[in-house]
Amino acid sequence: MMSLWTIVALVAVTGVTGRPNVTDSPDTGDMLTHPNSVPEYAEEETEILGQDQIEDVVAEDVMATGELNPNHYPAQRAAKVVQHYLNTRYGSPYRLFGLHRVHSGHAEDVADSGRKYQLEITAKERISNTTEKCSAEVLFPRGERQGSAQVQASCDELLKVNIAAQEEDLYQRYKNSQNLVSAQYLPDSHGRIEPEMKPFWHLGIVASSFVMLNESTENTLYNMAQVANITQLATENDQLKFDSHVLLHDMVSQEIIHWKLLFTWSPAEGVKMLQMEQLPHCHECDKPQNTE
């Protein structure tokens, strides 16, 4: 049985976006000692907080206005929302976005609308390992307009890597397949993923970004932990259709949160979310079976 802490360890190994085939080792030598500081490359290795630090983080979030320390949680959380936004707009089995670095951030209250963050970040397309410096704006609504964060960002250089042939090959291979693909525990308890399953792991990450974009607030910081299972369903309207159970890690509460997702993908339409359902908390569900 895999414990909750094993899953947490997997997050640290695979990074926030869970890239299975590349492991970076960020330089943490000049990390700040402030209790709210995180490593500069936040998606590669995110600090595990104690309860007293969590309370400090929430308190700082509430008070964070003006220029922000790019290594502290208010700026990092807003920047992570940009990552999820890019994945929902442009992600695919062969294109994944991560947060490489936050260069600067500024927060301001906007009347009764909420809090707006202006950010300068470097985003990374993780499969091609390309980066681009981008400007982004994130508004966390409040009051009667409270809902999911509103994001504006453009990172056009990261879209220039041509993945059309890879996408079309995968699509044609599984569009009319008599053997619908099904996989569990991506990655497994040792952090391994079979090469032919990596595109479906990537699809699980992109689909999870829809949840994390929708659920993110100024007081959350979500990582993708594991695709517990993903099952291909019968093709509908030329879209590959998938049912998936994913595990997300909220770094603030230290909870592993389970979601059931129903989504489609095709090269022409990208990933389209049909249904998102948070599953009831189950202590045993935090311990996926060892796949060996």
The total of structural domains in the chain comes to 1
pLDDT at 22: 28
Residue 236, domain member (yes or no): yes
**Given pLDDT bands bounded at 50, 70 and 90, which one contains residue 111?**
confident
State the pLDDT at residue 112: 79
Pick from 14-28, 71-85, 204-218, 250-264: least confident: 14-28
- Alpha-carbon gap, residue 201 to 192, rounded angstroms: 11
Q: How far apart are CA 121 and CA 88, in angstroms?
A: 18
pLDDT at 288 over 90: no
- Of 194, 183, 175, 163, nearest in space to 92 by CA: 163
> Which residue segment(s) compose the domain that 238 sits in?
4-286
Which pLDDT band, with edges at 50, 70 and 90, does 144 fall under? low
Largest CA distance in the chain: 57
d(CA 246, CA 235): 21
Range with the poorest average pLDDT among 29-33, 174-178, 281-285: 29-33
Predicted local distance difference test score (pLDDT) of residue 167 = 98
* Span 14-35, average pLDDT: 30
> Residue 231: pLDDT band by 50, 70, 90 thresholds?
very high
- Determine the pLDDT at residue 35: 30
Percentage, residues of the chain above pLDDT 70:
73
Residue 147: per-residue pLDDT: 82
Domain assignment present for residue 291? The answer is no
How does pLDDT run across 150-172, given as a tens digit for each residue?
999 989 999 999 999 999 999 99
> Could you tell me if 138 and 149 are in contact, meaning their C-beta atoms sit under 8 angstroms apart?
yes
Q: How far apart are CA 150 and CA 250, in angstroms?
A: 20
The residue that leads in pLDDT, 189 or 43, is 189
Query: Is there a contact between 202 and 93 (Cβ–Cβ < 8 Å)?
Result: yes
Domain membership of residue 233 (yes or no) is: yes
What CA–CA distances, in Å, run from 72 to 76, 81, 229, 254?
A: 6, 15, 34, 18
- Tell me the CATH number at 117: 3.10.450.10
Mean pLDDT value across residues 216-222: 91
What is the per-residue pLDDT for 30? 28
